[in-house]
Chains A and B, each alone.
Chain A
């Protein structure tokens, strides 16, 4: 079975550039999560969708970050403009649970480096 698919796996870009991270959740899952992982802050939840609708975006650091889920099989996380402090590993996860009270299946992440 195909798991959660994220692209790209690695992204290196200069500050000020727009960055778009992509995620394909597991088919049939109705919840999707975007996380950011750093040594300093650990695993932080950025935003959570249920049935393609954003439920809670309180973890999004600032207006430079935006996320969309146009359909059940695709989501994007966009940073514009990017800054060096955005460097981190970004994970997408999906779940069949509508309330977050079920297993999450993570992709292998996008390692983002902003120079």
Chain B
């Protein structure tokens, strides 16, 4: 089955800095890679996703990059704001019906 590793588990940055979260996956058949943001007391919410026919995707301050050869993908948040503080999850799907999630990264943005 698919195995997704996510790093770091905790990331602390100053407001305005950039934040990068990295994930690796094991199943070369995976072709869909979503990122979710989970705020306290809420369920994970999709913030951006990328498919394997695309190398990079941007949405305002958020971008995701994918390297299929190396089997890794990353989330980049620029100009971080306190409201970006949350737990972020990566996931990989496509090799089977079952999406596999990383363990999560707790992002703390200090004002």
Given contacts A42-B103, A42-B104, A43-B104, contact A100 B43 (CB under 8 A): no
Interface residues of A (CB under 8 A from B): 4, 33, 42-43, 45, 48, 50, 55-56, 91, 93, 99-109
Chain A contacts for B89, CB-based, 8 A: 43
Complex A-B, nearest 4 residue pairs according to Cβ-Cβ distance, in ascending order? A106-B43, A101-B32, A42-B103, A100-B97
Contact residues of A: prevailing secondary structure: strand
> Considering the complex, which residues of chain B in the window 17-57 have a beta carbon less than 8 Å from any beta carbon of chain A?
31-32, 34, 36, 41-46, 49
Given contacts A101-B93, A102-B32, A103-B49, contact A43 B43 (CB under 8 A): no
Q: In the complex, which range does the number of interface residues on chain B fall in? A: 20 to 34
In the complex the two chains form, what is the Cα distance from A3 to B51 in whole Å?
Answer: 24
Task: Say how far B80's CB is from chain A's closest CB, in angstroms.
Answer: 23
B98 in contact (CB, < 8 A): yes
> Beta-carbon contacts of B73-111 to A below 8 Å, as 1s and 0s?
000000000000000010001101111111110000000
Minimum CB–CB distance for A59 against chain B, Å: 8
Of B41, B97, B102, B104, most buried by chain A (CB within 10 Å of CB) is B97
Residues of B within 8 A of A (CB): 31-32, 34, 36, 41-46, 49, 89, 93-94, 96-104
Could you tell me if A104 and B97 are in contact, using CB atoms closer than 8 angstroms?
no
17 other A-B residue contacts (CB within 8 Å) besides A42-B103, A102-B32, A104-B46: A33-B99, A42-B102, A45-B99, A45-B101, A48-B98, A91-B43, A93-B43, A99-B97, A100-B94, A100-B96, A100-B99, A103-B46, A103-B49, A104-B44, A106-B45, A108-B42, A109-B43
Among B31, B42, B103, the residue within 8 A (CB) of A101 is B31
A109 cross-chain contacts in B, Cβ below 8 A: 42-43
- In this complex, what residue of B is CB-closest to A98? B97
Report the nearest B residue to A4, measured CB to CB: B43
